[in-house]
Amino acid sequence: MAGRSDPPEGGPGGSSGAGDEEYRSIVFDDSFVSSARLQEYSAEQRLVDHTVAVRDRAPEQPLGIVRTVPKQGLALAMIILLAFAAAIYLGANNPYQSPRSLAAGRPAGSTVALVPDGEVPGDIDVELLYGTGPVREFGVGPGGLELPDPKPTTHFSREQVMTALTLAKEYLTASALNPDVLVGGSRSEVRELLGVEQQDQFDVAMDGEGGPSWATDWLVRFDQDRVEMADPHVRVDGVFTFTEATDDMLEIAGHHVFVYALRSSESMGAPASLFGVRREVRFQFGKEELRDRNVVLRQVDTLAGPMACEADPADAYAPLLAGETASQRLAGGIDPLTAEQDRPVLCAALTPGQLNVT
């Protein structure tokens, strides 16, 4: 016989309390009950209020946005906010600011024409010309532009000094040794080594539009209508020096003599003669110029001859060739193959003998 607490057919599942086993793991806590959308009134509430047994409940209004956002979301938002603030602070106080470019205007320049005393010597045999005097000890082409051992300065590393020296050599190679520049009228290789500001100055000088700088301040070139190269291999002698001018500027100076074998382009088989150009070129480099591989040309002082004093060297040099003489003679003399000398006047006499064939 079934007990008083059990139905006649026994408890669910055939034993007492078997029906509770299915829902034993389900727990209805306070948050679950309070969030229910339906509410069942008690018997007392139904008697007192004469209302239905079940009513809909309006969902509780959130106390604020913080209540609806998970704690993990708040933490992530806080991390992002702090990272953004740190990025702004470090950007405003970054000790490694982008390097400043140097102000690059036109280079200061001077050109002195060296006037020969008498007839310019020459010879058909170019090697004979080169084999006379100190020129025979000169280097040939870019190989004559020897670089010193680069050493770090206070604010520039050894690699940066090496880069500056290399760029200075590239500029002299393009501007004073390239036959396409010397007599061909090309100028792109020189221009590409300059920064944008100096490229504009360079273009003005090359186009003969006047202005404060000459074409021959930027490069060596000859009047191609009357001169051609008897030997494309220029003889070179000289040195580079480097020094740190300021904490953000490195200065490279090139002191070189270039000797060219030239002949007249107007007559076949004309004898060749030598033309000497002594140039002191100063370059400056900041860290931005080193990064972009640009040079800043600051100063170019040139002695060039044999050349007539009345010749205009602004656009191109007009050498006196083999057998020619200058109409104007000058007293005193300057030898472009010697070392340091005081800055000369606009025209000076070329010391005889050093470029002569004896």
Q: What is the pLDDT of residues 285-317, one digit of tens each?
A: 999 999 999 999 999 999 999 999 888 899 999
pLDDT at 209: 66
Which comes out higher in pLDDT, residue 282 or 82?
A: 282
* Cα–Cα distance measured from residue 305 to residue 278, given in angstroms and rounded to the nearest whole number: 9
pLDDT at 31: 62
Q: What is the mean pLDDT of residues 230-249?
A: 94
Q: What is the pLDDT of residues 9-50, one digit of tens each?
A: 555 555 555 555 665 556 656 666 666 666 666 766 666 665
Is the pLDDT reported for residue 344 higher than 50?
no
Q: Strand 347-349 relative to strand 108-115: parallel, antiparallel, unpaired?
A: parallel
Band (pLDDT 50/70/90 cuts) for residue 358 is very low
Task: State percent of the chain over pLDDT 90.
Answer: 52
* Cα–Cα distance measured from residue 100 to residue 287, given in angstroms and rounded to the nearest whole number: 7
Please, which residues have CB within 8 angstroms of residue 165's CB and are 6 or more apart in sequence?
147, 148, 150, 240, 242, 252
* Cα–Cα distance measured from residue 63 to residue 266, given in angstroms and rounded to the nearest whole number: 100
pLDDT at 355: 41
Return the domain boundaries, the chain: 108-349
Q: What is the pTM of this model?
A: 0.69
How big is the chain, counted in residues? 358
pLDDT at 104: 73
pLDDT at 185: 85
pLDDT at 354: 41
pLDDT at 357: 35
Task: Look at phi and psi of residue 108 and say left if phi exceeds 0, alpha if psi is from -120 to 50, else beta.
Answer: beta
Can the peptide bond before residue 306 be classed as cis, meaning omega within 30 degrees of 0? yes
* Cα–Cα distance measured from residue 226 to residue 322, given in angstroms and rounded to the nearest whole number: 13
Q: What is the pLDDT of residues 161-219, one digit of tens each?
A: 999 999 999 999 999 999 999 998 899 999 999 999 999 999 999 987 656 789 999 99
CB 303 within 8 A of CB 335: no
Q: What is the pLDDT of residues 95-150, one digit of tens each?
A: 444 556 677 788 999 999 999 988 999 999 999 999 878 899 999 999 999 999 99
Q: What is the pLDDT of residues 253-263, one digit of tens each?
A: 999 999 999 99
